[in-house]
Amino acid sequence: MTFTGPGAWFHRARFAAAVDFRGAVPLERADFAGVEFTGDHGDRFAAAVVHAVDSALATHLARLTSTDHAVQGEALAALNRIGIAHPRCRGAVVSAICAHLRRTTDRRAVAILRDHLHFATPDGFWSDIDLDLSGGTFTDLDLSGVGVNRFHAAGATFTGRTRLDHLDTDTLDLRGAVFHGTASLVQVIAEETADLSDTAFHGPADLSRLSVLGPATFARATFAAGAEADEVFLAEGADFTGTVNPPAGLITAAGRPGT
């Protein structure tokens, strides 16, 4: 048995009567899923793994704030790998990606969100995630088909073609958001609440088959270029106080089609 280079390390390792390394190959990373450690050594090893992951996470979170496009890309790739391998880190990874997107337009970051928050990829789906895009500026944002606990985009500005079709969330928060260009929110489902107060749609909007299962408000919302709103369902009605040019087809408080 021959090892060359720095790829093997057996510091203080203990083996039973026999061990067979035939066919072993070096890897860039180790996967300890399903491995069980016992005793003090196991506790120390597990703690060391947690510390190493947290250190790597902190390093790449910091690198993501770099102004260098290449460094940002490397950090995004590393954070993606950490999120895949360590579910407990996924909330922090997504929060960092959202903060990054609030600073700059980056399709690489959006692609990571779509890869892991889209229901069409159940094997890689990240559950129990909040998306916070509040106050950011986004161009041609496409997050159609994603499922999250909470979708926050209060005060955000969307330009170009914005697609949030089939978004499934507990809480939809678009307070004061501004949509320039087209906005497609077809078949969005808000399981608990939807707040579109003071939201401004300056271009064509489509809210067809929007479903809100709890309280909803469109107070002071503006639909400057008209909107489609076919088959909308508002389980507890909605507040339309001060709404400008509301689209036909909105549901009344009684849950029946109205105009």
Q: What is the structure's pLDDT at 18?
A: 65
pLDDT for residue 215 is more than 80: yes
Which positions ≥6 away from 254 have C-beta within 8 Å?
Answer: 237
Contact (Cβ atoms closer than 8 angstroms) between residue 180 and residue 162:
no
pTM of the model: 0.78
User: Residue 96's Cα: distance from chain center in Å?
Assistant: 10
Q: What is the structure's pLDDT at 90?
A: 95
Q: What is the structure's pLDDT at 119?
A: 81
What does the pLDDT look like over 158-186, one tens digit per residue? 999 999 999 999 999 999 999 999 999 99
Q: What is the structure's pLDDT at 47?
A: 59
Which positions ≥6 away from 223 have C-beta within 8 Å?
Answer: 201, 205, 243, 244, 245, 246, 247
- List the single range of 145-154, 179-188, 242-251 with lowest mean pLDDT: 242-251
Q: What is the structure's pLDDT at 206?
A: 97
What does the pLDDT look like over 5-62, one tens digit per residue? 555 555 556 666 666 665 554 444 555 555 555 655 555 555 555 667 788 899 999 9
What does the pLDDT look like over 97-127, one tens digit per residue? 999 999 999 999 999 999 999 987 767 899 9
What would you measure as the largest C-alpha separation in the chain, in angstroms?
81
User: Residue 144's Cα: distance from chain center in Å?
Assistant: 11
Where b means 16+ CB within 10 Å and e means fewer, 8-47 reads: eeeeeeeeeeeeeeeeeeeeeeeeeeeeeeeeeeeeeeee
Domain residue spans of the chain? 37-123, 129-259
Contact (Cβ atoms closer than 8 angstroms) between residue 236 and residue 214:
yes
Q: What is the structure's pLDDT at 116?
A: 96
State residue 163 phi and psi, 5-degree precision: -125, 115
Query: How many Cβ atoms sit within 10 Å of the Cβ of residue 157?
Result: 16
Element (H, E) at 234: strand 233-234
Q: What is the structure's pLDDT at 120?
A: 78
What's the average model confidence in pLDDT over 82-92? 93
> 248 or 86, which is more confident?
86
Instruction: Kindly report the average pLDDT of the chain as a whole number.
Output: 85
pLDDT for residue 232 is more than 90: yes
Q: What is the structure's pLDDT at 6?
A: 52
Separation in Å, CA 82 to CA 31, 56, 94: 12, 8, 11
What does the pLDDT look like over 248-258, one tens digit per residue? 777 543 344 43
Distance CA 195, CA 175 (A): 6
